Amino acid sequence: MTDQTRDIRMQVMWNRLISVVEEQALTLLRTAFSTSVREAGDLSAGVFDPAGRMLAQAVTGTPGHVNTMAEAVLHFIAEIGRDQMFAGDTYVTNDPWKGTGHLHDITMVSPSFMGDQLVGFFACTAHVVDVGGRGFGADAKSVYEEGIQIPIMKFAERGVVNADLVRMLRANVREPNQVVGDFYSLAACNEVGHRRLMDMLGEIGLTSLDSLGEFIFSRTHAAMLERIRALPQGVWSNALVTDGYDSPVRLAAEVAISGDVVHVDFGGSDPVSRWGINVPIIYTKAYACYALKCVVAPDIPNNWASLALFTVSSPVNILNAERPAPVSVRHVIGHMVPDLVLGALARALPGQVLAEGAAALWNIHMSVRPVAGGSGRRAEILMFNSGGMGARPGLDGLSATAFPSGVMTMPIEATEQTGPIIVWRKELRPDSGGDGEYRGGLGQIIEIEPAPGHEFDFSAMFDRVNHPAAGRNGGGPGAAGVVALDDGTALRPKGWQHVPEGRRLVLHLPGGGGYGDPAARGAEARANDAIKGYVTGKKP
């Protein structure tokens, strides 16, 4: 076999491996009980070599899950031990510091055996609707208040599910059927990946992934080195201020490009918060690496070799919170990390980096119940919503788009089926995109009412209310977010609050910043904005 023929064969096998993990992820989408998974795609899936190095990830999924999972598998291998791994095993955790950053994400890892030989691992992650405790919100003062903690342990051994763990789950969560159902969906996800891998290896005639792994890593490493060496060498810094909980939070980053490595340090960020907005370093790393890769090498596959050339450090602070800090809504601050890092890269690569956007998802968790003395239905409902992206050099920002998380929009029909609420309005928010040569993406306006005879408490997990997305290169800021009742009562952007029967919760999601001098925006573009209702000239 010639070298060229071998390379072609390996490339075909690499593509086949990606299809394996994509089917793995789609299994989770098809079988999940929680709407955050089956509708929004808040998940990840991937395949790893026997050393725990990520070979390939599914396209379906979020950077926060994928890149934390890439590190989490190493924790599973260290804690379970190779001598305690058997065919038919599945391991599980929701440890925020060894998984994905908070308790609501369940990570499962399954070894893949061909006969007696370990050929790799499959891993997946999903956000479940409830883990007990105070619920999905920032009000806890420590991780011990935030829900049930599952250390790295076996969900199944040799195909037999740990019934004691299932009973513990049912006794500690508000929606046991949904949560336990999602556990089985995660296990099935990995099992499908294993079966497809066995089919693939059998067809090709391989007994391991060693040669394919070497091909993947060597090609990725060489491509990444080429990109990094073409970057300007030096150190650039950036800082931004977010809403925080009861006071603003300053985030700071320093990006150093030196030789073959890009390093990010988050020294200078504010201290650990007493509220659950803190971020474990594993999640900070995930989104810092994602931001770097978006600029440096967006077209190079994401795997162990591409991530290895990005390094991250931080003293103990809000972006490197240690146990037992509360971390339930770590995504609110964590989703600001890409804008923070991209701001530093914009100094190194002027004219190549988009403006700031809404960044953090506007997740809302609702605990719905009948009014006192009434009959009705109780439910826990989680809804994901997105503001606008920042404008890009040469293009307007995308509206109502989940950047950097990448989750999908949740249809209101699916949300209303999960509990007694009515979504009266979900539409683009005019005038919310920052002005510029290229306009920022629009946010949304959403109105939610408890169904007749019901009321709900909701956990606000919102940002960009007091500190809107900044424009770049002369572009204007996006519109700030607003949280209120339909009678005008202002509500807080974070924390548990109440919506009584007959009232509507009204959310005005923030817009993305504009890019470039507004005077340079063409007349045709402005006319198009007006025709489509994106810009009306009124205050947002």
* pLDDT interval class at 6 (50, 70, 90): confident
Q: How far is it, in rounded angstroms, from Cα 146 to Cα 103? A: 7
pTM over cut 0.75: yes
Helix axis angle for 63-80 and 281-296, nearest 10°, is 130
Q: What is the pLDDT of residue 163?
A: 97
Average pLDDT over residues 24-42: 89
Q: Which helix (H) or strand (E) holds 249?
A: strand 249-258
User: Which pLDDT value is given to residue 76?
Assistant: 98
pLDDT for the residue 312:
98
104 vs 125: CA distance, rounded Å? 10
Q: Tell me the per-residue pLDDT of 364-378, one tens digit each, with 9 for 90 and over.
A: 999 999 999 888 899
For the chain, the distance separating the N- and C-terminal CA atoms, rounded to the nearest angstrom, is: 65
Helix 176-204 × helix 3-31 angle, to 10°: 160
The average pLDDT across 460-480 equals 97
Question: Which pLDDT tens digit goes with each residue over 48-85?
Answer: 999 999 999 998 888 999 999 999 999 999 999 999 99
Give the DSSP per-residue string, 281-308. HHHHHHHHHHHHHHHH-TTS--SHHHHT
pLDDT band at 4 (very low <50, low <70, confident <90, very high): confident
List strands edge to edge, sheet with 454-461. Answer: 379-383, 364-370, 454-461, 494-499
122 within 8 A of 90, measured Cβ to Cβ? no
Residue 378 CA to residue 455 CA, distance in Å, equals 10
Residue 287 scores a pLDDT above 90: yes
| Pairwise pLDDT comparison (386 vs 42), residue with the higher score | 386
313-372 pLDDT, tens digit each: 999 999 999 999 999 999 999 999 999 999 999 999 999 999 999 999 999 999 999 999
- Mean pLDDT over 130-156 rounds to 95
Per-residue pLDDT tens for 209-239? 999 999 999 999 999 999 999 999 999 999 9
* Rounded-to-integer distance, Cα 422 and Cα 424, Å: 6
Segment 398-426, tens digit of pLDDT: 999 999 999 888 889 989 999 999 999 99
CA 209/CA 114 separation, integer angstroms:
11
Name every residue whose Cβ is closer than 8 Å to that of residue 496 and which is 6 or more positions away in sequence: 134, 135, 137, 139, 457, 458, 459, 460
pLDDT, tens digit, 9 for 90 and up, residues 426-464: 999 999 999 999 999 999 999 999 999 999 999 999 999
Q: Give the three-state DSSP class for 21.
A: helix
Residue closest to 129 by CA, chosen among 88, 175, 92: 175
Residue 349 is predicted with a pLDDT of: 96
- Domain-wise residue ranges, the chain: 3-208, 230-350, 354-540
CB-based contacts of 73-82 (< 8 A; 24+ apart in sequence): 73/48, 73/109, 73/121, 73/123, 75/152, 76/52, 76/109, 76/121, 76/123, 76/152, 77/51, 77/52, 77/121, 79/151, 79/152, 80/152, 80/154, 82/118
What is the structure's pLDDT at 373? 85
Q: At what angle do helices 210-229 and 3-31 cross, to 10 degrees?
A: 100
Closest CA to 282 of 330, 248, 324, 325: 330
Contacts of 222 (CB under 8 A, 6+ apart): none
Average pLDDT, stretch 459-474? Answer: 97
So what's the pLDDT on residue 46? 96
Which position has the token pair 């969560």? 173
Res 1: pLDDT: 59
Report which DSSP code applies to 4. Answer: H
Q: Is the pLDDT of residue 531 over 70?
A: yes
Summary mean pLDDT of the chain: 95
**Tokens matching residue 453:** 């005879």
Tokens standing for residue 284: 């900070």
DSSP labels for 172-196?
H-S-HHHHHHHHHHHHHHHHHHHHH
